Amino acid sequence: MTTHPEFPNLHVLDHPLIQHKLTHMRDKTTSTRTFRTLLREISLLMGYEITRNLPLETRRIDTPMVAMDAPVIQGKKVAIVPILRAGNGMADGLMELMPGARVGHIGLVRDPVTHTPSEYLVKLPEAGGRTFILVDPMLATGHSAVHAVDVLNRHGVTDDQILFEALVAAPEGMRTFNEKHPNVQVYVASLDERLDDHAYIVPGLGDAGDRLFGTK
C-alpha cells in the first residue's frame, strides 16, 4: 500500500494480484462476464486492506481444549454502500468478506454533458456508530463521490466513519473530493493520469457500469 504526497488520505493498493486483475479489466477485449468476476475479486482483495482497522470485540467460545475469549469483527457495526449502478459489482466482494454487514444503496447517474450527478435512490441502514464503506469503481470528476458522502453526512455519518473504495481515480477528481472531504480515507487500485474532454478517466477502463452490465 502506498500513499501520495498530494493526497494524504489516498491509499493505492499495489498488491500484484490487484494490479494483475486491474490490467485485465482495463483491456477492452475483456468480456462482461470476466469483467464482473474480476471486479468482485479485486474488491474482495482490497477489502482485506480496507478493513485492517475495523474494531474487534471478544466472544466467549469453547475450543476442543479450553474456553477462551476470542476476537470477532463487530459485523453489525459495518455498512457497505454501493453507488449504483457500478458500485454493485464491488459490494458483492465486500459482502462475501463481511456477510453480517448492513447494506445501503445510493443511486446516482452522471449527466453526460454537465457531468453532474443526479440522485434517484437513497436507502441506508441507521448510522448508529457504524463504519460506512462507500464503493464505486470510478472516481472521475469526483462529483458523485462528494454527493454520496454528503448524503451520508446528512444521515448522521461523519467523515472519519467513512471509507471510500474505488478502483481507479483521476487526480482532478481527488482534488475536488479533498476540497470537501479530506478526512475520508480513499482506497484505490490506481491513481490514473487525467480526465479526457468527456470527463472519462485516461487510461481508465471505459464506462464501468456499461462494462459490468453489458449495456453498451
The binding site comprises: 85, 110, 136-144, 201, 206-208
C-alpha cell at 117: 450527478
Selected binder of ligand PRP within 21, 110, 181, 211 (CB under 6 A): 110
For residue 150, the one-letter residue type is D
- In sequence order, the β-bridge partners of residue 56 are 73
210 annotated active-site: yes
Selected binder of ligand PRP within 46, 86, 152, 189 (CB under 6 A): 86
Question: What gap in Å lies between CA 214 and CA 36, rounded to an integer?
Answer: 10
Question: What gap in Å lies between CA 27 and CA 46, rounded to an integer?
Answer: 20
For residue 88, the one-letter residue type is N
Smallest separation (angstroms) from Mg ion to the CB of 108: 10
Task: Name which of 89, 80, 88, 18 is nearest 54 in CA terms.
Answer: 80
> How many angstroms separate the most distant Cα atoms in the chain?
65
56, 58, 72, 91, 188 from 76: Cα distances, Å: 12, 14, 11, 16, 25
Selected binder of ligand PRP within 54, 103, 109, 127 (CB under 6 A): 109
Stretch that binds ligand PRP, among 3-11, 94-102, 131-139, 156-164 (CB under 6 A): 131-139
* Number of alpha carbons in the 13 Å side-chain half-sphere of residue 120: 9
Catalytic residue (one of 114, 116, 158, 215): 114
Smallest separation (angstroms) from ligand PRP to the CB of 106: 9
Contact flag: residue 91 with ligand URA (CB under 6 A):
no
Question: What gap in Å lies between CA 203 and CA 196, rounded to an integer?
Answer: 9
Question: What gap in Å lies between CA 47 and CA 49, rounded to an integer?
Answer: 5
Binding mask 101-140 for ligand URA (x = CB under 6 A): -------------------------------------x-x
114 annotated active-site: yes
Interface ranges with ligand PRP (CB under 6 A): 83-86, 108-110, 115, 117, 136-145, 173, 199, 207-209
Interface ranges with ligand URA (CB under 6 A): 138, 140, 200-201, 204, 207-209
Interface ranges with Mg ion (CB under 5 A): 207, 209
Catalytic residues: 110, 114, 207, 210
